[in-house]
Amino acid sequence: MTYEPKPEHRFSFGLWTVGHPGFDPFGDPVREVLSPVQLVELLAEVGAWGVNLHDNDLVPIDASAHERDQIVSDFRKALDATGIVVPMATTNLFRDPIFRDGAFTANDPRVRAFAIRKTMRAIDLGVELGATTYVFWGGREGVETDSSKDPLRALGWYADAMNFALESKPNEPRADIYLSTTGAMLAFIETLEHSEMVGVNPEVAHEHMAGLNFTHHVAQAWSMGKLFHIDLNDQTPGRFDQDLRFGSANPKAAFFLVKFLEDVGYPGSKHFDAHAYRTSDYEDVKAFARGCMRTYLILKEKAERWNADPQIQELVARITHDDGSMAPYLGPYSAERAAALHELELDRRAIGARGQPYEELDQLTIDLLLGAR
């Protein structure tokens, strides 16, 4: 098994991931800044399929129209030369001081107008580069103090502005960010005028920050037909946004995620929204990028083996055994079912005494994960 990344794996990275120069709140940049063209070349070297971008990852916020066109033209040439595609684009609505109080939910209406206009232009840029998915991350759509903003009005402004894929995050850089989880986003989408056009872009780190099971949230999004994109990385619960290499903080959680995506046949990009440690040089940045994809492929193979393992599958069959005798009573509501159910005799104590071999099954999973079966 070489775990070689191939185009059909649809592995993508953001310009901001492998291009992150290693600054943080307590530290200055440690790596030289590479140009978008250099970053495309780096991604080609490590075997990625796609590159994603915020508008200002490619075109500086102050660029003239002429500069913009030159940058985009150079970038496109690099894409053509390497075969790298742009599956997704997004807008930076958090870095510039104008967004210090939010973009779509800023109290100042001029900021809201600016944010919408910037987003429209960024969509144009994405379309020009071939992106078919557009992501919105409201990194500043929150508060430090609830005295400063009315959450109902903020939600209304948010809804006015939305018609894209949505990403949620509970906090950082704001103390509390609105629509803090994938679930909140999914609910919000249902209130939008063109909800059919809008889905979610869940990120491992963002759900893990709140100590939540990411795979369960992805399952909910998938069951609603709303898994438009996904951000793969890793994160220890209850911490600052770490954006670690995929699978590097908790390989078991990563396994169940990969297994889910492969089992349902998720067709979209596997996008790695992570960055290398600040201790890395660019050789180690490549090790980071290769590691993201390699770990995904290792876990993909393990998922296949899990599905084919006779002892595991015997346990799964036992656990999910259904002799059909309950079929008349279960399923969507009907008056007949309800009436039948009222009469049903069940031996509560006998059923309650029945154990399930979940420790055994989980240990087999650990064995498989660790290569010990």
Query: Exactly one of 9, 24, 55, 57 is catalytic; which is it?
Result: 57
- Whether the bond between 173 and the residue before it is cis, its omega within 30 degrees of 0, is yes
DSSP 85: B
Interface with a copy of itself, residue 16, by CB under 8 A: no
Q: Is 57 a catalytic residue?
A: yes
For a copy of itself, what does the binding mask look like between residues 120 and 149, x meaning CB under 8 A?
xx-----------------xx--xxxxxxx
Q: Name the strand (E) or helix (H) holding 188.
A: helix 182-189
Name which of 204, 199, 50, 195 is nearest 135 in CA terms.
199
Residue 206: phi and psi, rounded to 5, are -70, -35
**What's the gap between Cα 41 and its chain centre?**
24
304: left (phi > 0), else alpha (psi -120 to 50), else beta? alpha
The span of 5-13, 33-41, 71-79, 251-259 binding a copy of itself (CB under 8 A) equals: 251-259
Minimum CB separation of residue 327 from a copy of itself in Å reads: 8
Distance CA 218, CA 182 (A): 8
| Subset of 281-320 contacting a copy of itself (CB under 8 A) | 281-285, 287-288, 290-291, 294-295, 298-299, 302, 312, 319-320
DSSP 366: H
The span of 39-47, 74-82, 128-136, 250-258 binding a copy of itself (CB under 8 A) equals: 250-258
User: In this chain, which of 215, 270, 296, 300 binds a copy of itself, going by CB under 8 A?
Assistant: 215
The span of 6-14, 46-54, 180-188, 265-273 binding a copy of itself (CB under 8 A) equals: 180-188
Interface with a copy of itself, residue 156, by CB under 8 A: yes
**What's the gap between Cα 268 and its chain centre?**
11
Minimum CB separation of residue 83 from a copy of itself in Å reads: 25
Name which of 269, 19, 293, 289 is nearest 134 in CA terms.
269
Interface with a copy of itself, residue 33, by CB under 8 A: no
Q: Which CB atom, from 128 or from 281, has the smaller least distance to a copy of itself?
A: 281
Q: Which residues are catalytic?
A: 54, 57
